[in-house]
Amino acid sequence: MSEEADAVRRHYETETDEDTRLRGGLGRIELWRVQDMVRRYLGAGSRRVLDVGGASGVHSEWLLGDSHTVHLVDLVERHVAAARDRLEGVPGFSASVGDARQLPVADASQDAVLLLGPLYHVQDREDRVAIWREAARVLSPGGVVVAMAISRFASLFDGLTHGYLFDPEFRAVVDADLTDGRHENAHGRPGWFTTAYFHRPEELAVEAADAGLDVLETLGVEGIAGWIDHLAPRLDDAADREVVLEAARRVEAEPSLLGLSPHLLCVARRPD
């Protein structure tokens, strides 16, 4: 395993709980918005969905609830074990350990591929295109890839929101992120994330096209709401929650605001 992959695995095994993050606080905005966006492209009926980088199954769970067949692939063994513990008995679910650059899945066997994490942690562009290309390989003609990335400007906004930017060491991290997108947390500082790549909004479509996919759109996921901590309690109220989600929908495709969102979502299709 490469040093890059080892750092990522260590982060998710010992430093963070992705399931808890998406089910609480502002992380719920990401979860609900991803549900909304993915459902637009899956449409009615059952689909064969490959959840790559699916962690402990937080997205696989609702996909199964929507009557899709789901195979989860994740680099982190602990994630796969947790997903199996939660979902193994659910009809249509399976899971395996694997790398997004070399998927353990047959050609043209899936109707949709979710890449809701793998592109975060691959700093080399050639490897990121390989991830897109693998998604295209396993898709049936006309199938869709829904891929998420972290915005190039995320560490800058995170630093302002949570005060990290007043630390000179963190400002140096931000400087590097803004220069070339390669995020490093060399000293393992809590809250500063792990080895990652932060995309400019326009990069996602170019990578997908280079892998032979037809790009449909690139959208902002949370919008500015992802940085406003005081919104978290309002998400407990259904009416207030819908106000927040609708605010994100209203600007999701606005080019001038894409980079403001913590996460970006690119949708592409395998040509018929």
**pLDDT (tens digit per residue) in 201-217:** 999 999 999 999 999 99
Residue entry with tokens 């008995």: 89
Residue entry with tokens 């949570």: 162
Q: What is the pLDDT of residue 1?
A: 46
Mapping DSSP to helix (H, G, I), strand (E, B) and coil, where does residue 131 land? helix
d(C-alpha 223, C-alpha 263), whole Å: 8
Within 10 angstroms of residue 139's Cβ, the number of other Cβ atoms is 26
Amino acid symbol at 129: V
Closest Cα to residue 145, out of 50, 52, 267, 36?
Answer: 267
Q: What digits encode the pLDDT tens for the residues 171-204?
A: 999 999 999 999 999 888 988 999 999 999 999 9
- In the numeric block, which tokens belong to residue 217? 């759109």
Contacts of 199 (CB under 8 A, 6+ apart): 119, 149, 150, 151, 152, 181, 264
C-alpha radius of gyration, the chain, whole number: 18
Cα-to-chain-centroid distance, residue 224: 17
**Phi, psi (deg, nearest 5) at residue 140:** -75, 155
Is the pTM value of this prediction over 0.95? Answer: no
Q: What digits encode the pLDDT tens for the residues 100-150?
A: 999 999 999 999 999 999 999 999 999 999 999 999 999 999 999 999 999
d(C-alpha 14, C-alpha 170), whole Å: 22
Domains of the chain: residue spans and CATH: 3-151+201-269 (3.40.50.150)
More confident residue, 3 or 105: 105
Residue entry with tokens 């605010």: 247
Amino acid symbol at 78: R
Sign of the Cα torsion 157, 158, 161, 164 reads negative
Mapping DSSP to helix (H, G, I), strand (E, B) and coil, where does residue 89 land? coil
d(C-alpha 85, C-alpha 154), whole Å: 33
Q: What digits encode the pLDDT tens for the residues 218-268?
A: 999 999 999 999 999 999 999 999 999 999 999 999 999 999 999 999 999
